[in-house]
Structure 1
Amino acid sequence: MDSHGQQYEQRIVWAVVDTGIGPLLLAATPEGLVNVVFHATDAVRDRALGRLASRLGGEPVEAPGSPLLTEAIRQVGAYFAGERRAFELPLDWSLISGFNRQVLRELATGVPFGQVVGYGDLARRVGQPGASQAVGAAMGSNPLPVVVPCHRVVESDGGIGGFGGGLEAKRKLLALEGVLPEPLF
């Protein structure tokens, strides 16, 4: 067996879980959770799995019982049930690099449950005070939404800001965390 080819074979496992904001696709590698995808209908899921296969190599396998996923599934469920405020999961950052990764790591460690941060403030925290638009782009490219809480980043004027999962999902997440009142409808 050629051991050289072996190192590129990355096992990717995935499952779709139902949440208060619709079905989420969770995907993991041996390194950790690598991708969370909103509105994981069959079409969205298939596109996401295709992207993962091309970015990471290897065919993603549906395996909700995989030890690589069981803890992530449990913690996501507890979060949406209001029983968990912080995710304690190994994360695989290989889908994102550079400034975006730096910003998302700061967000993951520095903005706890129930708090929000402005785009500009987050830019200052990573030493790039003028980069609030770049921070917005980093949030848009977050491969691990919910777990890396880009929903906690808002506009400084009180606007809710954009969100890859849609504004309704962002409002529901912020309401779950007590930042916003529960949506009335």
Structure 2
Amino acid sequence: MTSNGQQRSTPIPPTSIISAAQQPGIDPCDIACEAMPAYVMGDLTPTENFFIVEHTQWCGDCDDMLGGFHRVNTLLERLDPCQEPVDPPAPRFTLNRRPGRSVSRAPQSVARRAGYGRVASPVGPLLIAVTDQGVCDICFARGETETHFLDDLRQRGFAPEPDQAAVEQVRRQLDEYFQGRRSAFDVAVDFAGMTPFTKSVLAATAEVPYGELTSYGEIAARIGQPGASRAVGNALSRNPVPVIVPCHRIIRSDASIGKYTGGVDIKRTLLSIEGHVAPRAAQLPLSSSA
């Protein structure tokens, strides 16, 4: 089914799933879901497998659906006593973001150093990582362990090392923002390890000005994929540099506040800094451009 609700006449060939997912007006979630049976049966190429793996890392809905396909496949194997189950080849890499989950990962080049440190903020402690290309991760540490933070960095191809001095510029600008003395950040951002779709979502989100609000659907339209608001929301849930890339300024089309990677209370705090007071379950005014 396409993102506008129309039924496709024929399924998308597995060999075209990556290019299809990048087409304007196509929701990558639709492509991933159609390719899942082939993924479970082992009929995709390693590159296509990596597309499914990476996509389900940031899309919770698709991850749940993939789990369903795995369960169905397991039941079918148990119901077929004439067929010996074939053990899949051991993956060269594993993603350990979720307990008990082991999936293959595409090989990467030599890991780049990322200096990281912990800083205090009005929304709780933050873990920050910076490479030679810019800030690559800001983590709300109250909701995630340092182990998970470091695992995420490694999965994106970084080699994390403790280095409090490396995060000093980011810490100073965040302090100024929280104190109401900064409305824009001038630090570089390193999006390495993100998919092209996620990078486009983050780039469009970074253009939303201080104090303004827009919707997930508007961001989808800006990147040339109208109708992909669900995929946009999932991509923003994996925003590696919240606050600097202001995903808190993106709300639902009905003007309700929506979710946030650090928790809705943090989203409310950030919006209040920028002049939006949002009582619980209240609606917020979208900017005229949305």
User: TM (normalized to structure 1)?
Assistant: 0.86
Change (3 A) 1:96 1:8: same
Counterpart for residue 51 of structure 1: 152
What is the aligned-residue RMSD (CA, Å)? Answer: 1.8
The alignment-based identity, stated in percent, is: 38
Give the C-alpha shift of residue 40 in structure 1: 4.4
- Whether the aligned pair in 2 keeps the contact of 1:116 and 1:154 (CA below 8 Å) is yes
Amino acid at match of 1:131: A
1:15 is paired with a residue of what secondary structure?
strand
| 2:217 matches 1:115 | no
1:37 is paired with a residue of what secondary structure?
strand
- Whether the aligned pair in 2 keeps the contact of 1:17 and 1:23 (CA below 8 Å) is yes
Report the Cα distance in structure 2 between the residues aligned to 1:142 and 1:71, rounded to whole angstroms: 20
Counterpart for residue 277 of structure 2: 180
| 1:130-181, Cα deviation, whole Å (9 max, x unpaired) | 1111110111111111110110000121210111100000000000111225
Counterpart for residue 100 of structure 1: 198
Gaps of 5+ in 2: 1-108, 281-290
From 168, 176, 180, the equivalent of 1:78 is: 176
Change (3 A) 1:9 1:136: closer
Report the Cα distance in structure 2 between the residues aligned to 1:98 and 1:165, rounded to whole angstroms: 23
Gaps of 5+ in 1: 1-6
Counterpart for residue 155 of structure 1: 252
- Whether the aligned pair in 2 keeps the contact of 1:34 and 1:95 (CA below 8 Å) is no
Report the Cα distance in structure 1 between the residues aligned to 2:111 and 2:196, rounded to whole angstroms: 24
| 2:84 matches 1:13 | no
- Whether the aligned pair in 2 keeps the contact of 1:16 and 1:40 (CA below 8 Å) is no
Report the Cα distance in structure 2 between the residues aligned to 1:57 and 1:118, rounded to whole angstroms: 32
Amino acid at match of 1:156: S
Report the Cα distance in structure 2 between the residues aligned to 1:122 and 1:9, rounded to whole angstroms: 32
Report the Cα distance in structure 2 between the residues aligned to 1:50 and 1:74, rounded to whole angstroms: 26
Counterpart for residue 38 of structure 1: 140
User: TM (normalized to structure 2)?
Assistant: 0.56
Change (3 A) 1:40 1:62: farther
| 1:85-106, Cα deviation, whole Å (9 max, x unpaired) | 1111111110312111101101
Report the Cα distance in structure 2 between the residues aligned to 1:72 and 1:149, rounded to whole angstroms: 15
Kindly indicate whether structure 1 or structure 2 has the higher relative contact order, using CA contacts under 8 Å at least 6 residues apart: 1
Give the C-alpha shift of residue 51 in structure 1: 2.2
- Whether the aligned pair in 1 keeps the contact of 2:156 and 2:192 (CA below 8 Å) is no
Change (3 A) 1:124 1:9: closer
| 1:22-70, Cα deviation, whole Å (9 max, x unpaired) | 11111011111000111347x6122111221243242x2221113xx22
Report the Cα distance in structure 1 between the residues aligned to 2:155 and 2:193, rounded to whole angstroms: 11
How many residues in Structure 1 have an aligned counterpart in Structure 2? 172
1:11 is paired with a residue of what secondary structure?
strand
Counterpart for residue 164 of structure 2: 64
Looking at secondary structure, tell me which structure has more strand per residue.
1
- Whether the aligned pair in 1 keeps the contact of 2:112 and 2:131 (CA below 8 Å) is yes
- Whether the aligned pair in 2 keeps the contact of 1:96 and 1:143 (CA below 8 Å) is no
- Whether the aligned pair in 2 keeps the contact of 1:117 and 1:154 (CA below 8 Å) is yes
